[in-house]
Structure 1
Amino acid sequence: MSETCVIFDVGGVLEFTPETGWVERWEERLALPHGTVGERMRDVWAAGGVGTIGEHDVHAEVASRLGLDAPRVEAFMADLWAEYLGTPNNELIDHVRGLRGRCRLGILSNSFVGARERETALYGFDELVERIVYSHEIGIEKPDPLAFEAVCAALGVRPESCLFVDDVAVNVEAARAVGMQAHLFEDNARTLTRIAAHLDAGRPVSS
C-alpha cells in the first residue's frame, strides 16, 4: 500500500457536534449563574482531555462540585456525551470507508476520557481507520506538535506523506508546521476534492 496518508479529526469533521445548550439548561435547573458550570468544572474537563483523571473520578467531581446525587450525575454526563458524540457525518465516513486499501488512514482527536469506548460502540471508528490517537490516551492535545508526531509514529508514516483534516484553523496550521499537508474542514464537497488531489498526486500538494 502507498505511504500516502489521510488523517482526520473527529468532532466537527467525522461527527457533527453543534452546541446543544445542555450546560445552560443545567445551570437554569440548578439556579446557577451563567458560566458557573464551566468555572467549577474547568480543571476537570482539562484533566479528562489529557487522561489525568478517570471516568469514575469525573463523576465524583461532578457530584461534589455541582451538588448532584447519583441519578442526576448520570443525567448530566449523558447530556455531555450527547453533545460530544453528536451525529455522524455519513457522507464523509462512507467516503473514508471507500479509501481503505488506497492509502493509510488515521484519526487524531482532542478527546475526553471514555471517548474511545463510546465512539467505537456508536460509530465503529476502530474499523474505519488503521490507528486512532486520542489526546486522553497520549496526554497531549493538538496543536502541540507532539500530537501530530504521535499519529505519524502510530501509522509508521512521514508527516510529508500525510493530509490532515481538521475544523480548527490553529490545528491545521500546527499540522503544516510539522511538515504535514493540511485542510481546514468547512464542508464535505471541498474536503473530498482536497483528499482526491492528495491521493492523485501521491505527493504533497498545496491547498
Structure 2
Amino acid sequence: MIKGVMFDFSGTLFRIESAAKWLRAVVADAGLAVSEDELDACVSGLEEFGAQPGGVPPRQVPPHLEGLWRERDLTAERHRAAFTAMAREAGLPAADLAEALYERSQVSGAWQPYPDAEATLRALRERGIPVAVISNIGWDMRPVFRDHGVDDLVDAYFLSFECGVKKPDPRIFQMACDKLGVAPGDALMVGDEPIADSGAAALGCQVHLLDPLPVDRRPSALAEVLQLL
C-alpha cells in the first residue's frame, strides 16, 4: 500500500519553456537585434549542448567540460558554471547572454505546471498521503511552486545541491522516506529519468516513469498516478 509519494520536478510536475522562447525572451530583454536565421541557429546550438536547465539533454559534451557536467547538480556554483559554459559553446549572439539565459531558467514564468499537476497533488493531500519533491538541481525552485500556487501541497523538498547527493544514489530517496515517515516499500517515486529516478527501486520503492512531453501534449499522465495507490 502506498503511503507516501515522491515526485521529480522538471519533466514530471513542471516543464520549462521551449528553448526558442527562452532565447527570444533574453534577447528581447537585452535589446539586441538578431536575425531569425541567427536565432534559429542559436536555438539548435543550445539544444545540441543541452544548455537549458530542464531542457533537452546534450547530444554532445565537450571533453573539457565533462567533469564539470558530471558534477553539475552537486553545488549551485557547479550548476551555474556548467550550464553557462554549455551555452557559450552554442554560439550566442553575445557572450554575456549565457548568464542572462541561466537567470531566465530560474524565473517562475519560464516554468509551466503540467495540466493535472495541481489536481493530482491536491488529491494526494486529501487522501492524507504526504508528498516530497526530489530533484537533481543546482538552484532553489521552491519559489516556482509557490508562484504557481502548489507549494502548500508539498511536504518536503530534497534538492541535490542542498543534500550533497544526487539521484540515482539511494541515500536521497531514503532521506525523503525518513522525512515523510514511510518505509521505502510503502513509497512511490514518480519521475521521467529512467536511470536517475529508478534509483529509488534499490530501496524497494515502487517507481513510475512518465514521458517528459511539453505540457500541451501530456494532459493527464500525472492523474494516472492516483490509480497506483
Q: Cα gap change, 1:154/1:73 in structure 2, threshold over 3 Å: closer, same or farther?
A: same
Question: Paired residue for 2:7?
Answer: 8
Match of 2:184 among 153, 156, 159: 159
> What's the offset of the Cα at 1:4?
0.7
Unaligned runs of 5+ in 2: 24-37, 52-60, 89-93, 212-217
- Separation of aligned partners in 2, 1:190 and 1:36: 25
1:50 aligns with 2:81: no
Question: Paired residue for 1:133?
Answer: 158
- Separation of aligned partners in 2, 1:13 and 1:150: 20
Q: How many residues align?
A: 188
Q: Cα gap change, 1:176/1:87 in structure 2, threshold over 3 Å: closer, same or farther?
A: same
1:3–1:104 CA contact under 8 A, matched in 2: no
Question: Paired residue for 1:149?
Answer: 174
Question: Paired residue for 2:122?
Answer: 97
Unaligned runs of 5+ in 1: 199-207
Question: Paired residue for 1:181?
Answer: 206
SS of the residue 1:90 aligns to: coil
Question: Paired residue for 2:111?
Answer: 86
2:120–2:222 CA contact under 8 A, matched in 1: no
Match of 2:133 among 102, 107, 110: 107
- Separation of aligned partners in 2, 1:28 and 1:189: 33
> What's the offset of the Cα at 1:183?
0.8
1:10–1:108 CA contact under 8 A, matched in 2: yes
> What's the offset of the Cα at 1:99?
1.9
SS of the residue 1:6 aligns to: strand
Question: Paired residue for 2:102?
Answer: 77
Q: Could you say which structure has the higher helix fraction?
A: 1
Q: Cα gap change, 1:128/1:26 in structure 2, threshold over 3 Å: closer, same or farther?
A: farther
Q: Cα gap change, 1:133/1:161 in structure 2, threshold over 3 Å: closer, same or farther?
A: same
Q: Output the amino acid matched with 2:180.
A: L
Moved more, 123-132 or 141-150: 123-132
- Separation of aligned partners in 2, 1:111 and 1:150: 16
- Separation of aligned partners in 1, 2:67 and 2:156: 28
> What's the offset of the Cα at 1:146?
1.2
> What's the offset of the Cα at 1:45?
5.5
Superposition TM-score, scaled by structure 1 size: 0.69
Q: Output the amino acid matched with 1:119.
A: V
Superposition TM-score, scaled by structure 2 size: 0.63
Q: Cα gap change, 1:68/1:147 in structure 2, threshold over 3 Å: closer, same or farther?
A: same
- Separation of aligned partners in 2, 1:41 and 1:124: 37
Q: Cα gap change, 1:36/1:172 in structure 2, threshold over 3 Å: closer, same or farther?
A: closer
- Separation of aligned partners in 2, 1:184 and 1:150: 20
What is the CA deviation profile of residues 103-148 of structure 1, one whole-angstrom value per residue up to 9, with x for unaligned ones? 12111111122433x4244334531211111111101111111121
Q: Cα gap change, 1:80/1:16 in structure 2, threshold over 3 Å: closer, same or farther?
A: closer
- Separation of aligned partners in 2, 1:176 and 1:36: 27
